[in-house]
Amino acid sequence: MSLDVDASAAEATSLPIGYGKRLMVAAGRSSRELGTKIANRLGVELTDPGLKTFADGEVYCRYEESIRGADIFIVQSTCGHEEEGLTANDALMELLVMVDAAVGASAHRVIAVLPWYGYSRQDKKSAPREPITARLVAKMLETAGIDRLLTMDLHAGQMQGFFSKPVDHMTAMPILTQFVKDQLGEDTDIVIISPDAGRVKLTRKFAQKVGKPYALLEKERPAQEVAEIGYVIGDVKGKVAVIVDDIIDTGGTLAAAAQTVLDEGAREVYAVATHGIFSGNAFDTLTAAPLSGIVVTDTVPLRDGAPESIRVLTSADILTDSVRRIFTDDSVSEIFAGENQLF
């Protein structure tokens, strides 16, 4: 009996030469601009998730093209977006719906890309009967069906332990340190300031990268979103101070910190942070604050009305490189020479 196979039949049943995984990028309405930047850098079209909100507030999603068998990266910071009419809770629910839709559409892998991980400050019980909401969000994402999480500058690195799935923890430190060196000059008498004891490890690493000394602000927080700055530990007299933090929210803590540093004799004060949330009256507070400049990244979209002192750098390059390496199963930590675990 002949074992020859008809050539046309073999051609019809075999995989085409060069067959491989498909890479797709989708974005929720809180991160559409950042998602577009990532897709453009990867050379792919941004996949339309078909999002809309019904009259009763429910979120709907239906991908406009097949995602079967693809590795889909869903970009969505769980933050509010004024122009889209979204709150942080809307963005979170939208992300969960997008993940569930991708799982149901037989995507090969679903990777949630959260440049800003909402609820990350609720990462422990600070008082009796409080929830650990950052852990709850992790459970919700895994229940929805993510295979992996890609995020940037978590408020506490230990939050990775809330996940049983792999977590890639990126940092904007290379972007921010390079900006300080380029804009303020390596010859400038700079001191890097930690806003509290919890940021000392980050500040020390930042100061090492810039090649400058660092100092510490003593701070107490009597209640949520309320901070009282005490005094400066370290020498700031006559120097240009750069306050380094992961988040700027209402701006009250930063304004008080800047005034404290100036009172201790600093020449001028700048602030750099990864996530510029700027909620409530933050813009008014920061406009009145004695700050020469504020630098954040685009992990959270900057709403209208921002003062000219705020400058936004893009995190798209780091996130794009991370997405590419995850897709090709290359080392992600090599992006930072293994130094992305900072906290």
Catalytic residue among 205, 212, 219, 239: 219
Buried b (16+ CB within 10 A) or exposed e, 282-308: bbebbbebebebbbbbbbbbbbeebee
Is-contact 202 244, C-beta < 8 A?
Answer: yes
User: Is 165 one of the catalytic residues?
Assistant: no
- 136-148 core/surface letters (b: 16 or more CB in 10 A; e: else): ebbeebbebbbbb
Helix (H, G, I), strand (E, B) or coil at 292: coil
Torsion 28-30-33-37 (CA) sign: negative
Helix, strand, coil percentages, rounded to 5, for the chain: 35, 25, 40
Judged by phi (left if over 0) then psi (alpha if -120 to 50, else beta), residue 274 lies in alpha
User: 242 and 202 in contact (C-beta within 8 Å)?
Assistant: no
Residue 6 has a CB neighbour count (10 Å cut-off) of 8
DSSP state of 158: G
Q: So which residues are the catalytic ones?
A: 219
